Structure 1
Amino acid sequence: MNAALWGRVDDYIADRLVNEDGALADALRANADNGLRPIDVSAAQGKFLHLLVRMSGARRILEIGTLGGYSTIWMAKALPADGSIVTLEYEPRHAEVARRNIERAGYADRIEVRVGAAADTLPLLAAERLQPFDFVFIDADKPNNPVYLEWAIKLGRPGTVIVLDNVVRDGEVANAASRDPNVLGSRSAFELIAADPRLSATALQTVGAKGYDGFAVMILD
């Protein structure tokens, strides 16, 4: 088993099941043209998020880590007409690319991109006393995963679905001796999830075009 094979299988899945439309393909091209790192979710993972949103019946989504808006658009496609997304992005340049991608895809009326460090913008979001979020997708800087999880819980409600991406880190999450800040962020997130009785959770390892990684998925009880 190797990365080339995983990529071929991802292509096979995407060709038959994913149905990535022009707006999504255009977003990836625009990201590349603007020099954004190719660290978006894969097409199959984007469709997975889309299906989770549909299955959960979510109407209000919080995304922490926008990049160029590829995952944002996938989730927006699953929302009802009155649904909305607030997505948080640290880099102003990334946020501008995302806004253009979102407008091109036709979702500017239901997606708000907020710029700044999420550790700073999340408290501001909480202070607005908005309705709870039904679905939270976390795909930002990994050392702050525990911080983002705490805010996902505060901004959610019983039944909120939370997805935390990139938690396996090429298997290094099981290495207690690792000093990699990204691995430590994943391990701290696992400890937080395990210790919090409000969360029912599991994690799944994945392989594919994005390599060997995985995600944690949980529901707030």
Structure 2
Amino acid sequence: MSKKVWTDVDDYIVSSLFEADPILEAVLAANRDQGLPAIDVSPAQGKLLSLLVRISGARKVLEIGTLGGYSTIWMARGLPVGGKIVTLELEPHHAKVAHSNLERAGVPDKVELRIGPALQSLETLAAENAGPFDLIFIDADKPNNPNYLSWAMRLSRPGTVIICDNVIRDGTVLNDDGRDAYVEGARGAFSFIGGDKRLDGTAIQTVGAKGYDGFAIAIIE
């Protein structure tokens, strides 16, 4: 099968199961217009994140990697009244676009956007006793996956759901030559989750508009 087939199936999923959403379409258009990289989750993946927030009963969500806020909005929509997302973004320009998008989507009251290197922001959150979070979504610079997972453990509780994006990488996760830092980051996520007995996890391979990739999903026991 080809990426065109995968994309066509994604379009079918969206047209069959989702109502038209001009706000989210405008968010993606704003991201393009502002020169942000086209690495947002797909609509189907965004809806999955929203459903996982609802299924887990999460009230406090931590997102590592905001970009333009597309996934943030999906998760915010899954929160109950009084729920909150803390989202971390390195680039001030991305954060500015995200802030505008959050306003556009009507969810700024549910989101706290922090700007700066994520590892520093995570250290600050720990110092502030901001946890525990109920669901943590990791979608930032892939080489730091093990570091982000380590902080996620510190900012969580038994029952916290941890989701790590882009862990299959067109199947290159099988490469163990150490030449690609992004592949090593994906492998590091598997090693961390598989090696920590406090975590019970799996991974889901995905195909669609974003190509061939996948999520690692774990729960803290």
Which category describes the TM-score, using the shorter chain as reference length?
Answer: over 0.9
* Whole-angstrom CA distance in 1 between matches of 2:214 and 2:38: 17
Corresponding position of 2:152 = 152
- Alignment length, in residue pairs? 221
> SS in structure 2 opposite 1:97?
helix
* Whole-angstrom CA distance in 1 between matches of 2:19 and 2:66: 22
* Whole-angstrom CA distance in 1 between matches of 2:100 and 2:18: 23
Corresponding position of 1:169 = 169
CA 1:131–1:175 in structure 2 vs 1: closer, same or farther (change >3 Å)? closer
Task: Tell me which amino acid in the other structure corresponds to 2:6.
Answer: W
Corresponding position of 2:140 = 140
Matched, 1:119 2:93: no
TM-score (norm 1): 0.98
Corresponding position of 2:51 = 51
* Whole-angstrom CA distance in 1 between matches of 2:22 and 2:79: 18
CA 1:119–1:4 in structure 2 vs 1: closer, same or farther (change >3 Å)? same
**Structure 1 unaligned residues grouped into runs of 5+:** none
- Please identify runs of 4+ aligned residues in structure 1 that moved more than 3 A: none
> SS in structure 2 opposite 1:179?
coil
Task: Give 1:51-130 correspondences, 5 Å limit.
Answer: 51-130=51-130
Residue range with higher mean Cα deviation, 60-69 or 168-177? 168-177
Task: Tell me which amino acid in the other structure corresponds to 1:147.
Answer: N
CA 1:20–1:39 in structure 2 vs 1: closer, same or farther (change >3 Å)? farther
1:78-104 Cα deviation digits (max 9, x unpaired)? 101100000000100000000000011
Shift of residue 131, structure 1, vs aligned partner: 3.7
Matched, 1:198 2:209: no
TM-score (norm 2): 0.98
CA 1:89–1:20 in structure 2 vs 1: closer, same or farther (change >3 Å)? farther
**Structure 2 unaligned residues grouped into runs of 5+:** none
* Whole-angstrom CA distance in 1 between matches of 2:24 and 2:157: 30
Residue range with higher mean Cα deviation, 12-21 or 168-177? 12-21
CA-based RMSD of the aligned residues comes to 0.9
* Whole-angstrom CA distance in 1 between matches of 2:158 and 2:18: 30
Residue range with higher mean Cα deviation, 83-92 or 101-110? 101-110
> SS in structure 1 opposite 2:63?
strand
> SS in structure 2 opposite 1:61?
strand
Corresponding position of 2:185 = 185
Shift of residue 19, structure 1, vs aligned partner: 3.0
Q: Is the 1:18–1:43 contact (alpha carbons within 8 Å) kept by the matching residues of 2?
A: no
Corresponding position of 1:215 = 215
1:90-121 Cα deviation digits (max 9, x unpaired)? 10000000000001111111101100110111
Q: Is the 2:62–2:136 contact (alpha carbons within 8 Å) kept by the matching residues of 1?
A: yes
> SS in structure 2 opposite 1:67?
coil
Q: Is the 1:65–1:87 contact (alpha carbons within 8 Å) kept by the matching residues of 2?
A: yes
Identity %: 61
> SS in structure 1 opposite 2:46?
helix
> SS in structure 2 opposite 1:171?
helix
